[in-house]
Amino acid sequence: MMRALTWHGTKDVRVDTVSDPEIINPRDAIIKITSTAICGSDLHLYDGVIPGVVPGDVLGHEFMGEVVETGSASDLKKGQRVVVPFTISCGGCFHCKQQQYSACDNSNPVEKQDMSATLYGQPMAALFGYSHLTGGYSGGQAEYARVPFSDVGPIVIPDHLEDDQVLFLSDILPTGWMAAENADIQPDDTVAVWGCGPVGLFAIQSAIVMGASKVIAIDHYPNRLALAKELGAEIIDFRETDVREALMEMSGGIGVDAVIDAVGMESHGFAIDNMFDVVKQKVGMGADRASALKQAILAVRFGGKVSIPSVYGGMTDKWPLGAMMEKGLQIRGGQTHVQKYTKLLLEKIEDGTLDTTFLISHRLPLEQAAEGYRNFKEQQNEWTKVILKPEMEN
């Protein structure tokens, strides 16, 4: 038996004793977890707005640890340290072969594919520790995890790198990097990023590394804006400033070349809070989130680029369709193809190009995970990123 953070209902997560994971399929590996983070998208589960979560589900999709057991077709070795991508991908299907790993055909069990296929036309791939729409796999906020397709996902970490330096290869670093990549950044570009949560901050850092001329960060938490400023961004507090006016001025009257929507609790994953409730959508958070994206579409210049790492699950009304068409925008989004980026980003961590530790605000033992959720939700200015350590003294 092991300890794990389990979901029991809205704002009710607990560290429980549950059964240990086992090798089931040949390509599986079992990982003993040394570090695991709480993600902004975990807060959607915490808020009870994601369908398909079942009491007792083990949460967590940002984790790393030591290989302790391998299936007959795994190429990992016991004792290796690995970071595990949050997307579960087979590596052999049509989508994986063109590095669209987060669209893997084969990771979501067939009986779990029907609902998302109905919603989106084709089924979603699987993610760790999320909804049963994405497979219902036990997550990594636990002492151990079963990792399918362990020959494709996990990346082996050299001993000289600390957990804190590489843990975010599991999700938010590649998510921020892909957000910048989707903005197709050119050397002279001015890029505006809505939201200075972990994904927004990594998108800012990535845009700078990719050579953007200027990056502008938009948020209302002073501490998070300060982190953006330290990275080299100019900042706008939207409570004090008219964002669209300011962006026009800061881009010399042209409009910003690229915009990245990394707003709110939902920096990736899918917000289906309103999928089954149109009324709630119109008055609730779904509408708020979409309003940032609408602002971004109006702020970007004609022929500009729109990147959406903050995926939306349902629908929205009053979409600025005319602006989208008339301005000739390129719009890209999607769940992160983590496996496509891990090797490249590990190199950039090793050579010092990227730092991932600056946004970590708290390190807690796994036993205090519920407290971590509560504070990450309620103290967003100070609690920028929480890492849970199963082996840390309580």
Binding mask 132-171 for other proteins (x = CB under 8 A): x--xxxx-------x-xx----------------------
Which residues have CB under 8 Å from 279's CB, separation 6+? none
CA distance 332 to 178: 10
Q: How far apart are CA 269 and CA 61, in angstroms?
A: 11
Closest residue by Cα to residue 39 from 233, 269, 326, 356:
269
Amino acid at 270: F
Kindly tell me which residue out of 47, 69, 105, 163 binds other proteins, with binding defined by CB under 8 A: 105
Query: For residue 236, what is the DSSP state?
Result: E
Pairing of strands 386-389, 29-38: antiparallel
Which residues from 74-103 bind other proteins, rule CB under 8 A? Answer: 90-94, 97
Q: Smallest distance from the beta carbon of 85 to other proteins, in angstroms?
A: 16
- Is residue 111 close enough to count as binding other proteins by CB under 8 A? yes
Nearer to other proteins, 30 or 173 (CB): 30
Report, in Å, the least distance between residue 293 CB and other proteins.
32
Nearer to other proteins, 17 or 19 (CB): 19
Report how far residue 230's alpha carbon sits from residue 175's, in angstroms, rounded to the nearest whole number. Answer: 20
Identify which of residues 67 and 210 has a Cβ nearer to other proteins in the complex: 67
Per-residue binder mask for other proteins (CB under 8 A), 20-59, x = binder: xxx-xxxx------------------------------x-
CB 313 within 8 A of CB 271: yes
CA 66 to chain centre: 22
- Give the SS3 label for residue 214: strand
Of the candidates 111, 147, 129, 124, the residue with the CA atom closest to the CA atom of residue 31:
147
Applying CB under 8 A, which of residues 113, 150, 205, 310 lies at the interface with other proteins?
113
Q: How far is the CB of 18 from other proteins (least distance, A)?
A: 8
Eight-state DSSP code of residue 122: S
Q: Min. distance of Cβ 126 from other proteins in angstroms? A: 7
Binders of other proteins among 334-373, rule CB under 8 A? none
Nearer to other proteins by Cβ, of 126 and 359: the residue is 126
Which residues sit at the interface with other proteins, rule CB under 8 A? 18-22, 24-27, 58, 73, 90-94, 97, 105-114, 126, 132, 135-138, 146, 148-149
